[in-house]
Amino acid sequence: MRKLLFERTENECNTHYTPALEAEDHILESYIPSPYKRKHKLRIPQLTESEVIRHYIALSILNYHIDKGFYPLGSCTMKYNPKVNETMARLPGLAGLHPLQPESMIQSALEIMYELTHDLAEISGMKGVSLQPAAGAHGELTGLKMIRAYHERLGDAREHILIPDSAHGTNPASVTFTGYKSVEIKSNENGTIDLEDLKRKLNAGTAAIMITNPNTLGLFETQIKEIIQLIHDAGALAYMDGANLNALLGIVRPGDIGFDVLHFNLHKTFSTPHGGGGPGAGPVGVSSKLTDFLPVPLIRKDNGKYAFEYDRPHSIGKISTFYGNFGVMVRAYCYIRLLGSAGLRRVSENAIINANYLRSKLESSFELPYRKKCMHEFVLSGERQREQGVKTLDIAKRLLDLGFHAPTIYFPLIVKEAIMIEPTETESKESLDRFIDAMLQIAEEVASNPDIVKSAPHDTVVGRLDEVKAIKQPNVRFNFDA
């Protein structure tokens, strides 16, 4: 087990410290009240620079990341991110900007943001876009606030939002935050929205429907035009969760099929590294019904100059610090401009081909609840293995031994023992074949030697944890005073 830096010390190291602070205690007291002063001398590891560097390099080797291997996380789109986008985002003229600089000094940044809004509008078929939301769930909240403002302006403040039972968990959470109630729509035997259940629950109190398309099963909602027509006929609006937009680029524009709101996950669809708590960005696009309600400021262009536009009387107001996560916008802008329209379509085509290749190779060894061609991801079930005493969690742990990050498991909730796999467009056939071999090996082990799967992982730095104890009794602090 590798020790923490605080557990390692060498007394005879050539370390350097700042000079001792010479001040009377009563002077220090004015800056740091007694209750907050350290009771014991701070233990600082006595380490050389090379030891510190080696320590963190060793930790980085232990960590799993997208540059190290395949991340088949369904619904999370963990794909390789071109390093040229990182380089562009780190250009001093962009990375060194301060959000309080006057508009005259940030024209290049404003131009990037202005053009990105137009690129996203063109890609999605929406009429207006705000870049402010900081992540997908924040985009959901922003879109729902605009939906509420729309209905209130009509004097018809409605009560609930319809959400399919296969939805991302952030959808009902965002609905609750906005003051609406969630009403669940059942899926049919094909894994898509049950149209009859939708008709039963759609009424004058419906403000909108939130649909992920393709859905979390990786299936395209083939009745989507009829669904949107029913929603619009009831005076409600149609919201599309854009988490799976990388299956539709250049193929389907949500605005063209009638959606009124769409949030983009720039950190899923357009290159920025996803995971580790951020960064993210969740721009929101809207139809002509909602452009008046977009957050301020927007960016306008007059006579070749760019400026923030605040004079929008029906706007829902400001929903993010300053103007959103600018570095993420730069990466997305570079990604879109490098690929162009043909390249973006190829992104989705490759994502679909990769997912269907995996599905076809694995469906004989695992249950496939919905035997249909998928879009960018698909969901297997470990029920067959469960009958032999091996849980989906065990399969995920065994994959760690074989050098792969586990897929998303136990989601969506409508599939028992779910194994949700998204290969993304950036994985080669060789990479996919290695993953297929690992999954088939595990399926064989379940039949011939289930104990090796049930006790996995065996070869990782940390073995099988007691998940219940880890949640109820976490120990994440080091005792500095020991």
pLDDT digits (tens, 9 = 90+) for 315-345: 999 999 889 999 999 999 999 999 999 999 9
If 0-12 CB within 10 Å is exposed, 13-18 middle and 19+ buried, where does residue 342 land?
Answer: exposed
Q: Tell me if 370 sits within 8 A of 187, measured CB to CB.
A: no
**Same domain membership, residue 357 and residue 331:** no
270 lies in some domain: yes
pLDDT at 65 (0 to 100):
84
Single out the residue in 295, 322, 339 at which a domain terminates: 339
73 lies in some domain: no
331 lies in some domain: yes
pLDDT of residue 3 exceeding 80, the answer is no
Among 251, 247, 436, 448, which Cα is nearest to 352's? 247
Strand 206-212 with 160-164, pairing: parallel
Structural domain span for residue 362? 347-470
Among 344, 464, 412, 465, which Cα is nearest to 75's? 412
Residue bearing the bigger pLDDT, 129 or 64: 129
70 lies in some domain: no
pLDDT at 251 (0 to 100):
97
pLDDT at 9 (0 to 100):
64
**Same domain membership, residue 186 and residue 112:** yes
**Same domain membership, residue 365 and residue 327:** no
Single out the residue in 339, 371, 398 at which a domain terminates: 339
Q: What is the pTM of this model?
A: 0.89
Return the CATH number at 93. Answer: 3.40.640.10
**Same domain membership, residue 87 and residue 48:** no
476 lies in some domain: no
**Same domain membership, residue 359 and residue 299:** no
Report percent pLDDT > 90 for the chain. 75
CA angle 236, 238, 242 (to 5 degrees): 160
pLDDT of residue 11 exceeding 60, the answer is no
Residue bearing the bigger pLDDT, 24 or 439: 439
69 lies in some domain: no
Average pLDDT over residues 422-434: 96
pLDDT of residue 76 exceeding 90, the answer is no
**Same domain membership, residue 352 and residue 327:** no
Single out the residue in 320, 339, 358 at which a domain terminates: 339
**Same domain membership, residue 270 and residue 164:** yes
**Same domain membership, residue 405 and residue 325:** no
Taken in order 123, 129, 135, 139, is the CA torsion positive or negative? negative
Q: Tell me if 122 sits within 8 A of 129, measured CB to CB.
A: no
**Same domain membership, residue 325 and residue 185:** yes
Q: What is the mean pLDDT of the chain?
A: 91
Return the CATH number at 454. Answer: 3.90.1150.10
**Same domain membership, residue 352 and residue 328:** no
Number of domains in the chain: 3
14 lies in some domain: yes
**Same domain membership, residue 437 and residue 361:** yes
299 lies in some domain: yes
Residue bearing the bigger pLDDT, 10 or 98: 98
Lowest mean pLDDT among 257-261, 377-381, 477-481: 477-481
**Same domain membership, residue 305 and residue 191:** yes
Cβ neighbours of residue 426 closer than 8 Å, sequence gap 6 or more: 79, 80, 350
Extract the tokens encoding 43.
């233990």
Where residue 475 falls among pLDDT bands split at 50, 70, 90?
A: confident
| Exposure string for 47-63, b = 16+ CB within 10 A, e = fewer | beeeeeeebeeeeeeee
Residue bearing the bigger pLDDT, 468 or 19: 468
